[in-house]
């Protein structure tokens, strides 16, 4: 993989009262201490609502066509502002930079029927890469209405439409639901100590910018019941994965006809017990995927698997059905800190933890070891 100072793009999302505004203020103070210059893509909804559409809730009720046009304009505004942030970041290519989006393209989906959202994407010739997977990571801040109800308020955002905690919880879940399927979604829970919430969000962001991945992996005893209610909102993707002679990995991810392609390099960090890895991943084109596939390691076979992304107890899991070259069921989770406890889903029959066991690494599975 070409070594370059690639700018990471991170979407900061969350339900109403999740602390996004406070986090951006916190990042403005803390990131320079880590030598990181940040570029912010402002929240499009607040910009448009305060910029002439304060009656958006009434419009949604009385004039659905006009409401859809407003939501479409929000998406266009976000994509335009995001491209502007990229141009500005390129000016500082000799520095460590990151782009932070206050909300992302998929948020709009939570306010529209799915068919309408898909129609907007089609009209603009966009796909899931443009509005979801092109962010290097998504940081989801739980609403204060979920776990810290006494902190929930609308006083700090006049554009906020959710005037009570119940509506805030509904909006919180709706926002999270549309982002399930992103390969790197991190959930920051609400807690009594708001400072702790900010620190965990910062640590998650530093992990992404520093290319660190803290992963735990579990082997299942048997095939799970995929109809279990906790998997109702799971998003399924199909993955084709190959290893190059250089040790790098290429991957094609398919979701309902949409394809995304990645080139990845992973390295185990010494002394971390197989938990902490350095990971550099970037999207590539379909043509690049074909070119790279011609340089695959002849000692490795293609890994094919189905993956379900789902949320359980404020944790984002990946459930893998490995179809070949070996049949296995695996569960993975990325942590923010090595010492974070993992609350395993009780509806999955776990055989044992296999974090750091080379036998269960994807590379060794591909090599038939």
Q: Residue 72, SS3?
A: helix
**Omega before residue 199 within 30° of 0, cis:** no
- Residue 80 domain-assigned (yes or no): yes
Could you report the per-residue pLDDT of 167-191, keeping only the tens digit for each?
778 889 999 999 999 999 999 998 8
**Omega before residue 325 within 30° of 0, cis:** yes
Could you report the per-residue pLDDT of 129-145, keeping only the tens digit for each?
999 999 999 999 998 76
What pLDDT score does 131 carry? 97
Angle between helices 194-209 and 20-30 (to 10 degrees): 60
CATH number, domain with residue 325: 2.40.320.10
Please list the residues that pair with 179 across neighbouring strands. Answer: none
149 or 217: which leads in pLDDT = 217
* Domain identity same for 341 and 257: yes
Q: With a cut of 80, say whether residue 8 has pLDDT above it.
A: yes
Could you report the per-residue pLDDT of 344-366, keeping only the tens digit for each?
999 999 999 999 898 999 999 99
* Domain identity same for 189 and 334: no
Domain that holds residue 358: 214-366
- Residue 3 domain-assigned (yes or no): no
* Domain identity same for 231 and 132: no
Q: How is residue 160 written in tokens?
A: 């906020």
* Domain identity same for 247 and 175: no
* Domain identity same for 88 and 232: no
- Residue 87 domain-assigned (yes or no): yes
Question: In total, how many domains does the chain have?
Answer: 2
C-beta of residue 25 within 8 angstroms of C-beta of residue 40: no
Could you report the per-residue pLDDT of 79-102, keeping only the tens digit for each?
999 999 999 999 999 999 999 999
Which residue is associated with the tokens 């084109």?
285
* Domain identity same for 183 and 151: yes
Among 168, 183, 210, the domain boundary falls at 210
Average pLDDT over residues 184-209: 94
CATH number, domain with residue 174: 3.40.50.300
Q: How is residue 75 written in tokens?
A: 């998406």
Q: How is residue 151 written in tokens?
A: 């902190």
C-beta of residue 139 within 8 angstroms of C-beta of residue 176: no
Q: How is residue 334 written in tokens?
A: 């990325």
* Domain identity same for 301 and 325: yes
C-beta of residue 330 within 8 angstroms of C-beta of residue 219: yes
* Domain identity same for 147 and 273: no
- Residue 222 domain-assigned (yes or no): yes
- Residue 251 domain-assigned (yes or no): yes
* Domain identity same for 58 and 151: yes
135 or 277: which leads in pLDDT = 135
Among 193, 210, 227, the domain boundary falls at 210
What pLDDT score does 44 carry? 93
* Domain identity same for 200 and 222: no
What pLDDT score does 276 carry? 76
- pLDDT averaged over every residue in the chain: 90
Non-local (6+) Cβ contacts of 24 within 8 A are: 12, 40, 100, 102
* Domain identity same for 284 and 247: yes
- Residue 341 domain-assigned (yes or no): yes
Convert 272-293 into a string of H (helix), E (strand) and C (coil).
Answer: CCCCEEEEEEEEECHHHHHHHH
Among 160, 192, 210, the domain boundary falls at 210
CA distances from 2 to 53, 78, 208, 231, 360 (A): 46, 29, 18, 38, 28
Non-local (6+) Cβ contacts of 265 within 8 A are: 1, 247, 248, 249, 279, 280, 281
* Domain identity same for 148 and 256: no
For residue 174, how far is the Cα from the chain centroid? 15
């Amino acid at each position: 993989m070409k070594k370059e100072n690639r700018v990471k793009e991170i979407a900061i999302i969350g339900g109403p009262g999740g602390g996004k505004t406070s986090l951006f203020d916190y990042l403005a103070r803390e990131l320079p201490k880590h030598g990181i210059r940040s570029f912010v893509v402002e929240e499009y909804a607040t910009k448009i609502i305060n910029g002439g559409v304060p009656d958006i809730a009434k419009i949604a009720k009385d004039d659905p066509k006009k409401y859809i046009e407003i939501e479409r304009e929000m998406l266009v505004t976000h994509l335009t502002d995001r491209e502007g942030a990229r141009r500005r970041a390129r000016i500082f290519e000799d520095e460590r930079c990151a782009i932070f989006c206050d909300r992302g393209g998929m948020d709009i989906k939570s306010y529209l029927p799915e068919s309408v959202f898909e129609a907007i994407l089609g009209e603009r010739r966009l796909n899931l890469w443009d509005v979801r997977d092109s962010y290097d990571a998504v940081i989801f801040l739980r609403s204060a209405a979920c776990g810290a109800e006494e902190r929930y308020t609308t006083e700090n955002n006049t554009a906020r439409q959710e005037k009570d905690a119940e509506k805030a919880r509904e909006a919180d879940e709706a926002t999270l639901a549309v982002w399930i399927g992103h390969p790197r979604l991190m959930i920051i829970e609400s807690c009594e100590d708001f400072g702790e919430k900010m620190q965990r969000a910062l640590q998650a962001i530093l992990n992404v910018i520093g290319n660190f991945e803290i992963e735990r992996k579990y082997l299942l005893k048997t095939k799970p019941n995929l109809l279990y209610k906790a998997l109702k909102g799971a998003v399924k993707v199909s993955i084709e994965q190959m290893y190059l002679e250089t040790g790098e990995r290429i991957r094609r991810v398919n979701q309902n006809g949409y394809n995304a392609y990645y080139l990845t390099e992973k390295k185990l960090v010494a002394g971390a017990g197989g938990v902490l890895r350095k990971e550099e991943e970037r999207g590539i084109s379909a043509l690049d995927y074909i070119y790279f596939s011609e340089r695959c390691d002849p000692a490795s076979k293609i890994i094919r698997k189905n993956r379900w992304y789902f949320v359980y107890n404020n944790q984002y899991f990946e459930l893998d059905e490995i179809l070949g070259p070996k049949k296995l069921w695996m569960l993975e989770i990325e942590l923010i800190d090595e010492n974070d406890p993992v609350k395993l889903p009780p509806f999955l029959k776990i055989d044992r933890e296999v974090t750091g066991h080379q036998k269960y690494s994807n590379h060794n599975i591909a090599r038939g070891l």
